[in-house]
Amino acid sequence: MAEADAKFMRTLRELARCYQAFESFSEAHIRATGLTSAQFDIIATLGNTRGLSFKDLGERTLITKGTLTGVIDRLEARELVRRTECPHDGRSQIVVLTSAGEKLFRRIFPAHMAHLSSAFAAVPETQLLHTELTLRRLRELFEAAHELSLEEAEMTGAARSRPRRAA
């Protein structure tokens, strides 16, 4: 972003760097298990459950539905998960770990937790909480601004031609 004179750019840049640092630290370990990050996320989320719908999985892992189809496809091809029908809702499908998936989960999940925790060995819990709070506040700024900018877009004509939600 060149040298943006705005002070907030430094903060944003640090956010991006921090996130990427986490990703590469985490991913380095995950790759060794033969899974990708997204795949690991699914396995980890499915562990210790009786199965979850695509919708639930998407919400918990922050993976959007379009992406999810492909990720689940690949896991299913490797027989780590299985799609099953939802008894209550014909639109829905429940994704469950197969026994191989279960086994993999038990093998790699604790190991990955240990890997992650090594980064935090020397960090007191109060600081973790503090960091969490700082991040949450920052996130809320983005969410509020995002909402606002969507509303503005509605007013200024993008909405003229489209079905809109009544106030």
Partner DNA sequence: CGGGAATAGTCCTAGTTCGTACTACTTGTC
Partner DNA sequence: GACAAGTAGTACGAACTAGGACTATTCCCG
Footprint of its own copies (CB under 8 A): 1-4, 6-12, 14-22, 24-25, 28-29, 31-34, 41, 44-45, 47-49, 62, 109, 113, 115-120, 123, 125, 128-132, 134-139, 141-146, 148-150, 166-167
The answer to whether 38 and 79 have CB atoms below 8 angstroms apart is no
Binding to DNA (CB under 7 A): which residues in 78-117? 83, 86, 88-94
Alpha-carbon distance of 123 to 116, in angstroms, equals 12
- What is the pattern of x (binds DNA, CB under 7 A) and - over residues 16-55? ----x---x--xx--x----xxxx-------------xxx
Q: In this chain, which of 26, 33, 49, 74 binds DNA, going by CB under 7 A?
A: 74
Residues 127-166 that bind DNA (CB under 7 A): 163
> In the complex with DNA, which residue's Cβ is closer, 89 or 132?
89
Instruction: Pick one of its own copies, DNA, none as the site partner of residue 97 (Cβ within 5 to 8 A by kind).
Output: none
Residues 70, 67: Cα–Cα separation, whole Å: 6
Indicate which single residue of 13, 65, 103, 146 sits in contact with DNA (rule: CB under 7 A): 65
Positions touching DNA (CB under 7 A) are: 20, 24, 27-28, 31, 36-39, 53-55, 58, 62-72, 74, 83, 86, 88-94, 163
